[in-house]
Amino acid sequence: MHELTQLIKSDMKPALGVTEPGAIAFAVSTAKSYLTGDVKKVLLRLNSGMYKNAFTCGIPGSSHVGNIYAAALGAVAGRPEKGLLSLADVTEADNAAAERMVDAGMVEAKMTEITSRIFIEATVTTDSGEAVVTIRDSHTNIVRVTVNGETVLSKEEGDKEAEETKPLIHSYTLEQLYEYITTVDAEEIQFIGEAFRMNYELFEEGLNSPRTTYARYLLKKNGGEIISKDEQKTASLLCNAAIEARVIGLDKPAMSITGSGAHGIIATLPLYAVAKVNGLPDEKLLRATALSYLVCMYIKEYSGKLSAFCGCGIAAGSGMACGLVYLKGGTVDMMAKTINNMASSLTGMICDGGNKGCTMKGIAAVDCAFQSVDFAMQGIFIDNVHGINGMTPEDTMRNMGLIASPGMVGTEKVIVEIMESK
């Protein structure tokens, strides 16, 4: 198996709801699994991105939102063996128990520092003692577990080494990524098809739910058809009905990429839409999606997993745009021009947490991607010398990431302060 295939395969993960509440519930439920007796106290310590993203985020199986309730439900009903799907089995009785915990002041969430590096520390206290679970760098990467002061798991020694190692994706150029997706054996990337199945089911959940609003209007704008003759309107419908379903906490998982369900949706469903509208072969769609994922990863490795800019629109949107160029028979040069157009327009769009606003950001990303591709394939693009564009597409993608981290660290602080003030 090609190392890029392995990279994609290892990064694709089902996630129920927005990834951050799922990760919080996973951390809390894991800590609780080391203890017996009734829960007395849950303390969460989160980095700014984690804290912000889950702040007003819908939780699957619940009418509640946010860090506190994600933690409470993790303590009451979390299934740690299910990872980011740890809240898949929440019942009304579980919601009532979580409410009692919150009302009694048994759950507390604190922000530790302004950083794009994922950090979760969940401390659970029960009748039998205290367990602490620490997660770093990815949503389910447990690096340390202590139970009653005794360390039972530790992987923190390798953290510095991992930080200093150049990410695999950055050893490739855009041209080499294109070469990979055009030459890799189709059978080797068949697993990507699971992302379309899962994300499309989430789209259907959004379309059929009485709780969604954008989904039904996007359907109306598409002539009442799921797959119309209009590529862009079909793409926006599929993509953003799925995002809306996800952020309000409907009970279907998304296939995430780079730790985010919305990234996974934007990187896949618009491409699926274009393929279906034009009757393109499944193999071509799989290859386009592989490219979409890889470009998204390239930018995200610079920006950090969680940051002050909207990685869903900027990183996944740029990946999806490159995939569109491939579906339309375009060249690597056209992809580079498309990245320039995306960098010169969408970069800087803020992330103010996982919430219904993600739907509007997804709409903006789809519209911008289609326009960027159309212009680029006509030879119309923002030149390398302008703005944050680099002299190569690799430099441009790096610069896009740097705008987020370290560029928007101050922005992150202001966003959190605004959210906390309401």
Q: What percent of the chain has pLDDT over 90?
A: 90
What residues make up the domain containing 246?
A: 166-421
The answer on pLDDT for 157 being more than 60 is no
What's the whole-number mean pLDDT along residues 218-240?
A: 98
DSSP state of 321: H
The mean pLDDT value for 17-41 works out to 94
pLDDT of 72 reads: 98
SS3 147: strand
Query: Could you tell me whether strands 129-136 and 119-126 are parallel, antiparallel, or unpaired per DSSP bridges?
Result: antiparallel
Residue 138 and residue 312: Cα distance in Å, rounded? 16
End-of-domain residue from the set 111, 134, 162 = 162
Q: Do 88 and 171 fall within a single domain?
A: no
Whole-number pLDDT of residue 404: 92
In whole angstroms, what is the distance from residue 263 CA to residue 358 CA? 11
Instruction: Count helices and strands (H / E) in the chain.
Output: 18, 8
The yes-or-no verdict on residue 127 having pLDDT over 70 is yes
We report the CATH number of the domain holding residue 18 as: 3.30.1330
Confidence of residue 304 (pLDDT cuts 50, 70, 90): confident
Of 104, 137, 162, the last residue of a domain is 162
Residue 225 CA neighbour count, 13 Å, CB half: 13
Q: Is the pLDDT of residue 146 over 80?
A: yes
pLDDT of residue 259 exceeding 60:
yes
Is residue 133 located within the same domain as residue 183? no
Number of domains in the chain: 2
Give Cβ neighbours of residue 286 (< 8 Å, ≥ 6 apart).
186, 189, 190, 192, 193
SS3 248: coil
* Average pLDDT of span 241-245: 97
For the cut 70, the answer to whether the pLDDT of residue 273 exceeds it is yes
Instruction: Let me know whether 55 and 141 are in one domain.
Output: yes
* pTM listed for this prediction: 0.90
- Ramachandran angles phi, psi of 257, nearest 5°: -140, 145
How much is the pLDDT for 116?
Answer: 81
180 and 150 together in one domain: no
pLDDT of residue 236: 98
Judged by average pLDDT, the poorest of 144-148, 171-175, 255-259 is 255-259
Same domain, 177 and 141: no
